[in-house]
Amino acid sequence: MPRNPTIARTVPVLRRTVDGFRARKATIALVPTMGALHDGHVSLVRLAQRRAKRVIVSIFVNPTQFAPTEDFGSYPRTWKEDIAKLAAEKVDVVWHPDVKTMYPDGFATRIVPEGPAVAGLEDRFRPHFFGGVATVVGKLFTQCRPDVAIFGEKDFQQLRVVTQMARDLDLGVRVIGSRTVRERDGLAMSSRNVYLSAEERRVAPELYRAMKETAARVRAGDDLSAAQAGGAEIIKAAGFALDYFETRHAETLAPVTSIKDGPLRILVAAKLGTTRLIDNMAV
Ligand code: PAF
């Protein structure tokens, strides 16, 4: 039976709810989202339920992580469907502040992450992004005061950035990464997949194939840069405009030259038409 979550829209309501959980000694997991929920998000919620007694899902399309040229205005917003999915999962609380609640007039404090946030991957193409993410996630952590927070591995650099931030700022939150959920043909689930035309959707799994082939070649002992160049070729031949296709150290995101520098992670970002897709895979 579905069970409607409590919807908190203001900080005092959220605080009272969290205080109630804490008074009953319940552990709390937070799943930060921007809504437009799909099965990947549902898997984050299920992992959260295994890790804590109470689950809060935040739904907030965060303007500060979008550049003016990006899709903040058109980002899919599917509130009714999202709440139905969260009710089916028996989530306890949905934290749904509006922009003025998150960034009141006069807001003047930001978190500026370094380390994995300046690794030369997403930050090279979206220089505004990790500052916006770190600031909003820092606020979500202090508002919800969770014991654990669950983030998808699909946004791998983001996962590394928030893990580092929680550690550096002693936020008392354990950040847990959750495996990427894929469509049957390998395409990583993403709220932005709805932007793909039928033809682009057919081509999109080539990203997955390129990573799989590259990972297999590296594991088999092929030269890393030759294997990487082969993967990049698959992506370009499929019609993508490639931003990057790189293999990095899975923890630090530092550049690597051989499998011996591991553990390794392949990370990719590429545009199909106007839709930018990102993905990654362990080697
Ligand atoms: O991954 C996302 O959906 C967003 O970047 C996050 C973590 C909810 C911050 O706005």
Tens digit of pLDDT at every position of the chain (283 positions)? 899 999 999 999 999 999 999 999 999 999 999 999 999 999 999 999 999 999 999 999 999 999 999 999 999 999 999 999 999 999 999 999 999 999 999 999 999 999 999 999 999 999 999 999 999 999 999 999 999 999 999 999 999 999 999 999 999 999 999 999 999 999 999 999 999 999 999 999 999 999 999 999 999 999 999 999 999 999 999 999 999 999 999 999 999 999 999 899 999 999 999 999 999 999 9
* Pair 147, 231 in one domain: no
Inside any domain, residue 186? no
Inside any domain, residue 164? yes
How far from 220 is each of 22, 242, 248, 257, 258, CA to CA, in Å?
51, 25, 18, 15, 12
* Pair 83, 59 in one domain: yes
CB 94 within 8 A of CB 57: yes
**Cα 74 to ligand 1 centre (Å):** 16
Q: Looking at the CA of residue 133, tell me the nearest atom of ligand 1.
A: 9
pTM, two decimals, is: 0.97
Which of 137, 144, 190 has the most ligand 1 atoms within 8 A of CB, as the residue to mutate? 137
Count of domains observed in the chain: 2
**Cα 92 to ligand 1 centre (Å):** 20
Q: Answer with the one of 133, 150, 178 that is the final residue of a domain.
A: 178
Residue 147, domain extent:
6-178
- Rg over alpha carbons for the chain, rounded to the nearest Å, is 19
Q: Answer with the one of 127, 149, 178 that is the final residue of a domain.
A: 178
**Cα 151 to ligand 1 centre (Å):** 8
CATH code, domain carrying 217: 3.30.1300.10
